[in-house]
Structure 1
Amino acid sequence: MPGMVDYALHYKRLGFSVVPIDKSSKRAITKFKDKTFSEHEIRLLWKDRPDANIAVRTTDFFVIDIDVKEDVNGYDSLRDWELAKYIPPTLCATTPSGGRHIYLKKPPEVTINQDIKVRPGIDIKGNPNNYVLVAPSNNPKGKYQWDKSVEEMAVAPNEIVAILQAEKPTRSMNFTTNYQQGEFSSKTAKLFEQIVFGLGDKGGRNNALASFVGGLLVRGVDEEAAYLLAKIANHYTPSPLPQAEVDATFESMLRKELDRRGGSGYTEN
């Protein structure tokens, strides 16, 4: 019976950029930014973690990620979204929670980036360093499975590209506040200090980064600006965190902030 490494090698040979994923956290178990692992490296990675799940980087394609949970159904959101009528027959997969991944190739010279909660229960994963889990990856809820009715990935129609690009909010960076003196003002000052002084010692870097990102987002700082500032603060940290950890922490805090604004929890599919 094929092991996970055999499936990982199969995806590599199909042209995907493969990433090993920890089952419990859904995070990459090694640095992968802008890197495509060779077959030899894949064998070594899965030799150390033979049960690791498999993800592929969204390099020349993107994924419409539909989530299903108790209070939000991404399928309902998709049904009410104009974009849905332009989705061609294409490669798809079901997720352990009953969600769906819809794969589409990026047209030449077109950039599609990550957009969390572009609609309730729907994320877009398209940055070259985003990734999606693929079969036979699994978690306690079940397995990721390919829908074999269509086995080719279609190119995204121009209409879908236009809708996704129009969806991206255009907000200016906002540091102007009317905060009164006191605890909240002091916390705001600390955020500015962390930008140039970094996130502190090794033991508390992750918590400091999470607090830093959460502090920016709750104050209404633009998401992309907050991400850039997080990278700057990490750069000035004496022992910076790996970029993959920065990305994972930022995404986690962004989801929490979006949930806070929307008044609902978030569950990974």
Structure 2
Amino acid sequence: MTIYRSKEEYAQRYAKAGMYVLPVANKHPIIKFADQPALTESQIHDIWEQHPNADIAVRTVQFFVVDIDKHADNNGFESLKDFNHPDYFPDTLTQKTRHGGAQMFYMKPNGVEVEQNIGWLKGVDIKAHINNYVVIAPSSGYSFVNHHKIIQAPDVLLTAIKPVNSQYDIPDSVRQKYHIDQKSKTAELFERIAFGLGGSGMRNNNLTELIGGLLFRNVDPDAVLDLCRISNQNSNEPLSESEFNRTYESMIKKEMRRRNVT
């Protein structure tokens, strides 16, 4: 078996396999990548020559990922156990994540759109958008459970993970009678996630408030990142990846100072 000695060698290996490679630091991309073509061999060499310790992520372009978190109050493994359909998940390339979770990789069938579904089950996300990505082994904290090929997702799994788009529309009679006397800050955070970051002159400030509000309420930083990405995606004019990352990184540092963490 070939042994790769550097992050660049692994990145080149993934690129040769047709993956869209992305250099990351602390799970954040260090280059602009949204809607960009896959990095070339020479681009990968130049990036890792400049950032030899950069971790590796791969964009979910040709494949999607069943992302299983493992937290005391949000255990995706228990959710899958309760779902009780192990037959939906045939053996495929699987890795262990930094905090004890797991990620299963499945190919998207040709001509079939696989939609992202954050919160498909409690503690289980479906990461499938072409501008989403997952950090991959041998990045720090990640290791492969097996070395299987990424297989095509079975139809039963594709059907199960498809988001349910509700056709329910709140009647005007209900809207007229339902009054909110006073809205809490927590309610405003929920609405910001659902309705997006607002217009172009408000997005950065609203993202800052959203990140700060979630961190102040002791939401896990990884969950904060995912929730804020959802809010950005729900915006009419989403922030660029670089703007989004700058704001998130700044707020994380600010929160660490507030907690006297050095």
User: TM-score, with normalisation over the residues of structure 2?
Assistant: 0.69
Post-superposition offset of 1:227: 4.5
Post-superposition offset of 1:48: 2.3
Match of 2:50 in 1: 48
Match of 2:224 in 1: none
Match of 2:235 in 1: 230
Match of 1:216 in 2: none
Which ranges in structure 2 are unaligned for 5 or more consecutive residues? 215-227, 249-262
Q: Where does 1:178-217 land on structure 2 (aligned, <5 Å)? A: 178-180=179-181, 195-196=198-199, 198-199=201-202, 204=205, 206-207=207-208, 210=211
Structure 1 residue identity aligned to 2:112: V
Q: Verify: 1:31 aligned to 2:5, yes or no.
A: no
Structure 1 residue identity aligned to 2:79: S
Post-superposition offset of 1:132: 0.9
Q: Is the 8 A contact 2:208 2:247 kept in 1?
A: no
Distance in 1 of aligned mates of 2:230 and 2:53: 37
Report the CA distance shift for 1:248/1:172 in structure 2 as closer, same or farther (over 3 A).
farther
Report the CA distance shift for 1:224/1:15 in structure 2 as closer, same or farther (over 3 A).
closer
Q: Is the 8 A contact 1:27 1:248 kept in 2?
A: no
Post-superposition offset of 1:171: 6.0
Post-superposition offset of 1:248: 9.7
Distance in 2 of aligned mates of 1:46 and 1:34: 21
CA shift digits 1:159-215 (9 cap, x unpaired): 1111111x43426688x673448998xx89xx89x8446227x8x5751675899xx
Distance in 1 of aligned mates of 2:105 and 2:17: 15
Report the CA distance shift for 1:168/1:20 in structure 2 as closer, same or farther (over 3 A).
farther
Distance in 1 of aligned mates of 2:93 and 2:16: 17
Q: Verify: 1:13 aligned to 2:13, yes or no.
A: no
Q: Secondary structure in 1 aligned to 2:73? A: coil
Q: Where does 1:91-170 land on structure 2 (aligned, <5 Å)? A: 91-138=93-140, 143-148=141-146, 150-165=147-162, 167-170=163-166
Q: Is the 8 A contact 1:209 1:230 kept in 2?
A: no
Identity %: 30
Distance in 1 of aligned mates of 2:120 and 2:157: 13
Report the CA distance shift for 1:247/1:156 in structure 2 as closer, same or farther (over 3 A).
farther
Distance in 1 of aligned mates of 2:21 and 2:155: 28
Post-superposition offset of 1:88: 1.2
**RMSD over aligned Cα, in angstroms?**
3.8
Distance in 2 of aligned mates of 1:230 and 1:160: 29
Report the CA distance shift for 1:245/1:104 in structure 2 as closer, same or farther (over 3 A).
farther
Report the CA distance shift for 1:19/1:197 in structure 2 as closer, same or farther (over 3 A).
closer
CA shift digits 1:91-147 (9 cap, x unpaired): 111112221111111112211222222111111111111111111101xxxx21112
Q: Is the 8 A contact 2:95 2:104 kept in 1?
A: yes
The total of aligned residue pairs comes to 220
Report the CA distance shift for 1:182/1:104 in structure 2 as closer, same or farther (over 3 A).
closer
Q: Verify: 1:75 aligned to 2:73, yes or no.
A: no
Q: Is the 8 A contact 2:199 2:236 kept in 1?
A: no
Structure 1 residue identity aligned to 2:202: L
Q: Is the 8 A contact 1:230 1:246 kept in 2?
A: no
Distance in 1 of aligned mates of 2:247 and 2:111: 30
Q: Is the 8 A contact 1:5 1:42 kept in 2?
A: yes
Structure 1 residue identity aligned to 2:34: K
